[in-house]
Every structure is written in C-alpha cells, then in structure tokens.
Amino acid sequence: MGRGQGEGTRGNQVGDWNQLTNNNQPILQVDQLKKHFPVKGSGGWLKGPQHFVHAVDDVSFNLAAGEILGLVGESGCGKSTLVLTLLGLEEATAGQIVFEGQNVTHLHGSALKSMRRHIQMIFQDPFEALNPLLTIGEQVAEPLLVHGLVASKSERLARAAQALEDAGLKPAESFLNRRPHELSGGQRQRVVIAGALVLEPTVLLADEPVSMLDVSVRAEVLNLLSDLRQRRGISILFITHDLGTAAYFVDRIAVMYLGRIVEIGQTHEILANPQHPYTRSLLSVIPVPNPRQRRQRTILQGDPPNPINLPGGCRFHPRCPLAESRCRTTDPALIPLANSHAAACVLLEG
C-alpha cells in the first residue's frame, strides 16, 4: 500500500495484547487491522502511483467479556471506519478480527449474517437510523424477522416490547404503534438501542450514541448502557470524540489519532497520568467545575495531516508542542507502561 513520504522507522508492535487489558478472556480481538481506501482516479495508466486514504492503520486491541472500552479521538481519526470494518460493512485491507475465538475478518453471506446476530450497532443519528414509515414495534421486531428467529408476529412484537422495556421505554405498549417523528430525540435513541438488544447480542458497537442528544438526556442513555452491561454482561465498544463523556463510565480508554491508537489503558490511569501529548491536550480542554483542579489548556494548532500523504515519523509531530527532531523520523510503537497502560511516543523511550 502507498504510504506518505518520509515514512521513517517504526518499532515492533506490542506482542502480547492481553497485557493491555484486564484478566478476563477477550471476546473480541483486533490485531493490526488496516482499512485503506483507494483514491479515485489515482494509479491509472500515466497517472502515477496508486494513493490510499489510511483510515485505519495498524490498530490492535482486545475487548473483554462484560467490558466497556472507550475509543476516543477527534473527527476524521478513523473511529467510525474501524467500527464499520468490525461489523463487516467495510472490507478489511489487512489484519485480523477474532470474535469468540473465530476469525471473522473476511466473512461473507450467511456466516457474516450469523455473526451480526451477536455484534450489534448503535448509530449516531437515531432519526436517520429509523424508518419514518414503520411503527416502533415493527422496526424493533424486524431483526427477528430478518434472522428468522421468530415466526409468529405476535411473539415478535412481544420480544420487541421486552426490548423496549429493557431500553427504558415504559410501558412499551404505549410506544409500539407510534412512529419516529412522534418521539423525542432521547426516546428515538432508546428505540435504536432496543433494536440492537432484541437479538440478545454479546457485543454492542456504540458510535457516538449520545452526541446528538441534549446534555440532560446524555447521562440517562449512558446510565442505560452501563446498566445493560451489568444486567446482561454485554461488552461495549463506545466511540466518542469527547474524552469527558468516555471518562464518565468506561473501564478503559483507547485514544486514536490519524488511524492509529496512540494511548490505551485503564480509565483512571489515563485521566490521572496521561502519557501521550495528544491525550494531554484532549484532557486539558475538558470543563472542570472546580477552578483549583483545572489544567492549563493545550490548544492544538492546525488541522490533522492529510491521511493520503502522511507525515514522516510520528503522525502527531506537526501539531505536537513537545516535538523533537527525532519525532520526524521515528514512527513510535505502543510502549508498555505500568498497570496495563501503553502509549506511542518517542519521548517515553528516553
């Protein structure tokens, strides 16, 4: 695949990724996953070399059973593309996805459909995710029909009603015959969650599930997801651009920048002792009520580099306030630190 000019050197990847999670057996394992999009019009005859958008570039992590992992980064860093690739909506360029011990990287047809029963998606915009012509009951029950799990319409609606109850819409009977435009934003998001729950999945991929909700409703939805983890043992990959939101309820945080994870660790470790300059900048702008606890803000200059023509060395160095000359030539790997904490920065190498 095409890479940016002056790629420089890159250290070895962290070998044992179980060291970067808790002691639970991982339900989802992602190993050096890549998703590159070819640029339209490049690579043709007399048009020069093929170019690629490096949306996801060498990403590895584990998700343990019953764990909530927060994937944090600014818009355009590759978070949503990563989720779509995990779900099989985008074909992986390289790397491996292992779900419950089975390699699911390149599943197709009935095998992919069967896998999706156990990995469900919560989309960012509930209004776009719902069909305005169908009732709430029909939409929540539809996955049961698609997967051929329940033949009886009455039983499907009963399962849909239970999913709505589990998503916090009570009594469910008052919502079954309504349509999306009759609900508030928070209620529509709960309907989307109910549609994911009706198949009783083991993993939820939540892509910015509260970013379009009022602040007063966000905590309710986050508490709902946390409660589902407690009651059902569901594992959740929670995608957000807001580190403050992730810190509210996730077990671990993975910070992503320009297609790569640059820091990962337990939430309390990331908040108390961030090691990557990008993570520190994200933390510095989180509002803190107590003025004595506020950090000095680090405002990053400029925009992220072009994902087609990546900078040499560390991808963050053009915006990093601590960058040194070696940052322009050395592409750092994740360096294991104490307490299952790792960060990718040459300054940690000494």
Domains of the chain: 25-118+201-349 (3.40.50.300), 130-200 (no CATH)
Name the one residue in this structure whose structure tokens are 């033949």: 151
- Asked if 226 and 232 touch (Cβ cutoff 8 Å), the reply is no
End-to-end CA distance of the chain, in Å? 32
The pLDDT of residue 72 is above 80: yes
Query: How buried is 321 (Cβ within 10 angstroms: 0-12 exposed, 13-18 middle, 19+ buried)?
Result: exposed
d(CA 271, CA 319) in angstroms, rounded, equals 21
Residue 183 vs residues 14, 170, 186, 209: alpha-carbon distances, Å: 47, 13, 8, 17
- Asked if 336 and 348 touch (Cβ cutoff 8 Å), the reply is no
pLDDT in tens, 255-303: 999 999 999 999 999 999 999 999 999 988 776 666 666 666 676 777 7
The percent of residues in the chain predicted with pLDDT above 70, rounded, is 87
Per-residue pLDDT, 7: 42
pLDDT category of residue 1 using cuts at 50, 70 and 90 = very low
- pTM of the predicted protein model: 0.87
Per-residue pLDDT, 303: 78
The pLDDT of residue 6 is above 80: no
pLDDT category of residue 76 using cuts at 50, 70 and 90 = confident
3-state DSSP assignment of residue 108: coil
Q: How confident is the model over 128-151, as a mean pLDDT?
A: 93
3-state DSSP assignment of residue 217: helix
d(CA 119, CA 330) in angstroms, rounded, equals 37
3-state DSSP assignment of residue 163: helix
Per-residue pLDDT, 249: 86
Query: In the 8-state DSSP scheme, what is residue 325?
Result: G
